[in-house]
Amino acid sequence: MLAWIKERLPFDGNQLRELTNEPVPNHLKRWWFALGGTPAYLFVVQIATGILLAFYYKPSPETAYESVRYITETASFGWLIRGVHKWGATLMIAAVILHQMRVYFTGAYRKPREINWMVGMCLLICTLMLGFTGYCLVYEQLSYWGAAVGANIAGGVPLVGGFIREMMLGGEGYNANTLPRFYVLHAAVLPTLLTLLVIIHIGIIRLQGVTEYRFADQLEEEAAGKKQYFNFFPDHLLSELILGLGLMVVLSVLATVLPATLGPPADPLTTPEVIKPEWFFYVTFRWLKLFSGTVAILSTGFIAFIMFFWPFIDARIRRHTRFSEASVWIGIVGVFLIIGLTVWEAVAAH
Ligand code: HEM
């Protein structure tokens, strides 16, 4: 059988092993250095559970809410699939943020990895947009008003705001075209974009290799002449698989103990007393509430711009000033600000 296949597909297992078996630096045995694999794994979980949800989900204002109710209450294991998808999104966003923090605080974005940092920023935006569009699909009160408020915020962007808002909603206001539009973005456009970006991201990592660090124990090993690398296959791959199994357990427990719920259905005529986005937008939402209209939107855009081009800004600071580790202090302030604003929004009634 094997010979029959080999005759038709002259596939060389050794070549594939050589191609994938890049030696991995020892510091990647520390899990926080290998956090990039976690969002990649969770993305696969999201695709698998998303396909199952798509078998039942019906993206129109008349049917969306009922189809989510059907998935949650009637379809076999629908509650589990929906719960895993919802918690998978939360964990994926958390993993992307933690991975970005690791990259930031270890300076792994510095020359020659500036481009990969920018690809990473696109991955972050794409992941957040997946979370936002997914939240809007349920068509419960909060997701309806979340979408409406999100579109209004986008509408406030100078010059292009009106265009973005209309593109998002498929018209002047929320209408019958809006939900299918969010669905196409959530289930087709953004996952395809994310897949392409991950391929580019990993491709660049393969070209450049990961940043090499030497910790005290590794320096000792080096002095003792021990090897500084381990095999991608099977050692690193097996660690990632074990991590994946652990995540599967965590996801199943979360989906069972804290299942995905369903709020009241969307009512376009009644604005809810409290409109809250998902937790990962709390920080932006609070920021936008702190400042008025255009100032809030322009300052948010400015922060995103700084984050995007941070490797170049950091290089200038290091070259022209004495504050070579300014990034660490800026990062610490940034993290406290993000946590502070998120907690503030979480506990605030309005
Ligand atoms: C879906 C999202 C993402 C996936 C699947 C992903 C995947 C990975 C993987 C597998 C690595 C190899 C080392 C490691 O595991 O840390 C890596 C490294 C890297 N990532 Fe990501 N990443 C994502 C998002 C981001 C984001 C948001 C940023 C920053 C804005 C970023 C910037 C980088 C950089 C600069 C490296 C090189 C690190 C080094 O050389 O040590 N990534 N990424």
Domain ranges across the chain: 25-271, 276-350
State which of 93, 201, 243 you would mutate to test the pocket of ligand 1, scoring each by most atoms of that ligand within 8 A of its C-beta.
201
Task: Encode 195-222: b = buried (16+ Cβ within 10 Å), e = exposed.
Answer: eebbeebeeebeeeebbeeeeeebeeee
96 lines ligand 1 (CB under 6 A): yes
Looking at residue 10, its pLDDT comes to 85
- Which single residue is written with the structure tokens 């990969």? 116
The CA 320 to ligand 1 mean position distance, Å, reads 28
Looking at residue 184, its pLDDT comes to 98
> What is the Cβ-side half-sphere exposure of residue 188, based on CA atoms within 13 angstroms?
5
Low-confidence ranges of the chain (pLDDT < 70): 350
236 lines ligand 1 (CB under 6 A): no
Question: What are the φ/ψ torsions at residue 269 (nearest 5 degrees)?
Answer: -95, -15
> What is the Cβ-side half-sphere exposure of residue 67, based on CA atoms within 13 angstroms?
16
Classify residue 233 by its DSSP letter. Answer: I
- Which single residue is written with the structure tokens 């297992």? 13
State which of 24, 92, 123 you would mutate to test the pocket of ligand 1, scoring each by most atoms of that ligand within 8 A of its C-beta.
123
Does domain 25-271 sit in CATH 1.20.810.10?
yes
Ligand 1 atom, smallest distance to 126 CA? 1
Query: What is the topology classification, in CATH, of domain 276-350?
Result: Helix Hairpins (1.10.287)
Looking at residue 350, its pLDDT comes to 67
124 lines ligand 1 (CB under 6 A): yes
Ligand 1 atom, smallest distance to 33 CA? 16
Looking at residue 213, its pLDDT comes to 87
Looking at residue 234, its pLDDT comes to 86
The CA 201 to ligand 1 mean position distance, Å, reads 7
> Which residue's alpha carbon is at the smallest distance from atom 43 of ligand 1?
36
